[in-house]
Structure 1
Amino acid sequence: MNPRPRLTRSIPFWLLVVGSLASVGVGSYVLTTNIGTMVTTLTDGTATGVEVYAGQVWGVLGAILIGVGLIGLALALTLGALRAFAPAPTVEVIEAAAWDEPVEATSPVAPVAEAPAETVVAPAPAADTEVAETPVTR
């Protein structure tokens, strides 16, 4: 049994992969929509300063998000490759567990005294029948 969990079962690894893919997706969306808007307005001749200058900033932001996502994916790939080459730690086998060995009492335990029997008198029956009272022991 391998004491280390597999990389495919590691939550931080999958957060890195999913976060990187999300960053690439959002960056691609931001980049294509803003560059597309800039290109259409510049070719039509209807471009304003907001579309041109703000569009450039949004395009740079999209490119940064794509770059960060690609770096994250490369890091995940590198982590997977390094994990394959890392040696597994040695596991020490224990011969017998402590609870498997016989236990000798070091001090005698005094026996528990039994409780004395309790005598209970049954209630008297109705007056028309004659029954002698007998003690009942439990």
Structure 2
Amino acid sequence: MNKSLTRSIAFWLLLVLSLASAGVGGWIISGQLSTMTTTLLDGTATGVEVYVGQSLVVFGAALVGAGVLGLLIAVALVAVQSLVAAAKPVTVEAIDWTSAADGSAPENETPEHAASDTAEADEAATHRETGETVSTPDAEHVSPEGGAADEDQNGSSGSIATATKINVK
């Protein structure tokens, strides 16, 4: 329940429709009971006013019951919302833009380490562009038939190309 209950459209629909249902049901009951009482006491009551009036009173009572039930559900939702703890806001530290802007290397990386990584990346890109294969220590474990030697692949995906870093096209 990240959203406030008062901002929920479903909650407001439940509340408004429950009130409307109870109001309309009460109006129907009130109107029919007053009509039945008046005509029965005057002695002018017809079968339509008596028997249809009873059915309309039952229908109005169902509407009142649905409205009251909806209001009880709305009250229960408010109670549950008050019991549930709100999520704590996450605190975000301010970013220190001065360390990245001055051009200095991060604390755990020296300029020599960064240069060697760049050289290795350039060499790998050159080999990819020319289509050359790079000899790695794992390449000697590949048998001429295309399968791996007797040793396990030590957690690789099972592909010889992956195990030996061969460029497969």
Tell me the TM-score normalized by structure 2: 0.53
Match of 1:87 in 2: 85
Q: 1:77 — aligned with what?
A: 75
- Deviations for 1:44-103, whole angstroms, at most 9, x for unmatched residues? 111111100000000011111111101111110010010011123455556688xxx96x
Q: Per-residue displacement from partner, 1:12-65 (whole Å, max 9, x unpaired)?
A: 101000001000110011001011111111001111111000000000111111
Which structure has the highest helix share of the two? 2
Equivalence for 2:2: 4
> Quick one: which of 25, 28, 44 aligns to 2:26?
28
TM-score, scaled to structure 1: 0.64
Over the aligned positions, Cα root-mean-square deviation in angstroms equals 2.8
Between Structure 1 and Structure 2, the one with more strand by share is: 1
- Structure 1 consecutive aligned stretches of length 4 or more whose deviation exceeds 3 Å: 89-97
User: Partner residue of 2:12?
Assistant: 14
Structure label with greater radius of gyration: 1
Distance of 1:45 and 1:90 partners within structure 2? 70
Is 2:63 the counterpart of 1:59?
A: no
- Count, aligned residues: 103
Q: Which amino acid aligns with 2:4?
A: R
Partner of 2:45: 47
Q: Which runs of 5+ in 2 are unaligned?
A: 101-117, 123-169
Instruction: With a CA cutoff of 8 Å and minimum separation of 6, indicate the structure with the bigger relative contact order.
Output: 1
Any gaps of 5 or more consecutive residues in structure 1? 109-138
Matched-pair identity in %: 49
